[in-house]
């Protein structure tokens, strides 16, 4: 018996299927592009971390520093720590409640770079309970950008109380009255595997779920085609007496 196709229903189903197919395919392609970008980023950062240290950027380079070009660059710098201006920034760690110890390093040209000397457990927070190096120092570490934005559930810094939860360099240097301060900080390499502050604690890890996202979007695109095929098949097999 000849099928009686309800063309309006088939046309509507085809339009909807094409819409979903286009959207899901576009999202899948976008995730593939993001995957390529993320893999390239990981490769570039790994190369920076493993490279020999280069001089830390000076004032003439500060305006052009970007995350894409400079973050995690292995750098070196020389100067004297201003230990009286040390800042402790709360962070959870494998030691339990802990603090990053950020200390300004004044270079010979008068500029200041905040150096994250590493982690101390909560019971070693007081400067009397961890090392505070005096005299000229040579520091190597990874260039990091200021953390001027908090996370969803992070607490706000309270500069007026000297309480810090993120490494907001511009706020810290302004609160401390430090002039000619770099807009970045340096995560110092580990110098003493048993001492505190414990350097070399930078976690260089990037979340990379783009491949799974791409597979999901392409699978949804195929489901859109399958759904349209089911509707079309039902119409082709439909008995006209069911009208």
Please check whether residues 29 and 110 belong to one and the same domain. Answer: no
Please check whether residues 79 and 155 belong to one and the same domain. Answer: yes
What is the number of structural domains in the chain? 2
Strands 112-121 and 96-106 turn out to be: antiparallel
Please check whether residues 184 and 77 belong to one and the same domain. Answer: yes
Residue 66, helix vs strand vs coil: coil
Please check whether residues 224 and 162 belong to one and the same domain. Answer: no
Please check whether residues 17 and 118 belong to one and the same domain. Answer: no
> Residue 184 falls within a domain, yes or no?
yes
Please check whether residues 148 and 231 belong to one and the same domain. Answer: no
Please check whether residues 144 and 233 belong to one and the same domain. Answer: no
Please check whether residues 178 and 216 belong to one and the same domain. Answer: no
Strands 112-121 and 181-188 turn out to be: parallel
pLDDT, one tens digit per residue, over 146-185 is 887 656 566 777 777 778 788 889 889 999 999 999 999 9
Residue 93, helix vs strand vs coil: strand
Taking all residues of the chain, what is their mean pLDDT, rounded to a whole number? Answer: 85
**Does 206 score more than 70 pLDDT?**
no
> Residue 64 falls within a domain, yes or no?
no
Strands 54-55 and 96-106 turn out to be: unpaired
Show the domain range for 184: 73-188
> Residue 168 falls within a domain, yes or no?
yes
Nearest-CA neighbor of 55 among 131, 120, 113, 94?
113
102/198 Cα distance (integer angstroms)? 12
Bigger pLDDT: 49 vs 10? 10
> Residue 63 falls within a domain, yes or no?
no
Contacts of 90 (CB under 8 A, 6+ apart): 97, 98, 99, 163, 164, 165
Please check whether residues 126 and 172 belong to one and the same domain. Answer: yes
Task: Return the bridge partners of 137, or none.
Answer: 79
Q: Model's pTM, two decimal places?
A: 0.69
pLDDT, one tens digit per residue, over 115-146 is 999 999 988 888 888 888 889 999 999 998 88
> Residue 201 falls within a domain, yes or no?
no
Please check whether residues 137 and 228 belong to one and the same domain. Answer: no
Torsion angles phi and psi, residue 158, rounded to 5? -125, 80
Widest distance between CA atoms in the chain: 98
242/227 Cα distance (integer angstroms)? 22
Quickly count: other Cβ atoms within 10 Å of residue 155's Cβ: 12
pLDDT, one tens digit per residue, over 15-53 is 888 999 999 999 999 888 878 777 776 677 777 777 888
Nearest-CA neighbor of 111 among 143, 78, 136, 63?
78
CATH number at residue 77: 2.40.50
Helix count and strand count (H, E) for the chain: 4, 7
Quickly count: other Cβ atoms within 10 Å of residue 172's Cβ: 23
Please check whether residues 171 and 95 belong to one and the same domain. Answer: yes
> Residue 53 falls within a domain, yes or no?
no
Please check whether residues 184 and 78 belong to one and the same domain. Answer: yes
Residue 204, helix vs strand vs coil: coil
The CA radius of gyration of the chain, in Å to the nearest whole number, is 28
Contacts of 132 (CB under 8 A, 6+ apart): 81, 83, 86, 103
Decide if 182 contacts 112 (C-beta within 8 A).
Answer: yes
> Residue 199 falls within a domain, yes or no?
no
> Residue 172 falls within a domain, yes or no?
yes
202/237 Cα distance (integer angstroms)? 64
């Amino acid at each position: 018996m000849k099928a009686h196709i309800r063309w309006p229903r088939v046309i509507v189903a085809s339009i909807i299927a094409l819409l979903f197919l286009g959207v899901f395919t576009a999202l899948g392609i976008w995730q593939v592009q993001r995957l390529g970008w993320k893999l390239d980023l990981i490769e570039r950062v790994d190369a920076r971390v493993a490279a020999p240290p280069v001089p830390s950027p000076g004032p003439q380079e500060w305006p052009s520093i970007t995350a894409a070009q400079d973050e995690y660059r292995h750098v070196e710098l020389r100067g004297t720590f201003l230990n009286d201006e040390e800042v402790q920034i709360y962070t959870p760690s494998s030691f339990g409640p802990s603090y990053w110890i950020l200390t300004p390093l004044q270079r010979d040209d008068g500029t200041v770079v905040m150096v994250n000397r590493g982690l101390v457990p909560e019971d070693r927070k007081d400067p009397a309970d961890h090392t505070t190096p005096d005299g000229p120092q040579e520091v190597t570490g990874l260039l990091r950008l200021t953390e001027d934005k908090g996370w969803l559930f992070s607490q706000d810094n309270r500069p007026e109380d000297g309480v810090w939860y993120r490494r907001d360099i511009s706020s810290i240097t302004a609160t401390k009255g430090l002039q000619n301060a770099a807009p970045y900080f340096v995560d110092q390499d580990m110098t003493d595997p048993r001492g505190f502050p414990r350097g070399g604690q930078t976690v260089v890890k990037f979340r990379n779920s783009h491949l799974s996202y791409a597979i999901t979007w392409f699978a949804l695109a195929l489901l859109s085609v399958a759904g349209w095929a089911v509707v079309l098949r039902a119409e082709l097999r439909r008995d006209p007496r069911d009208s």
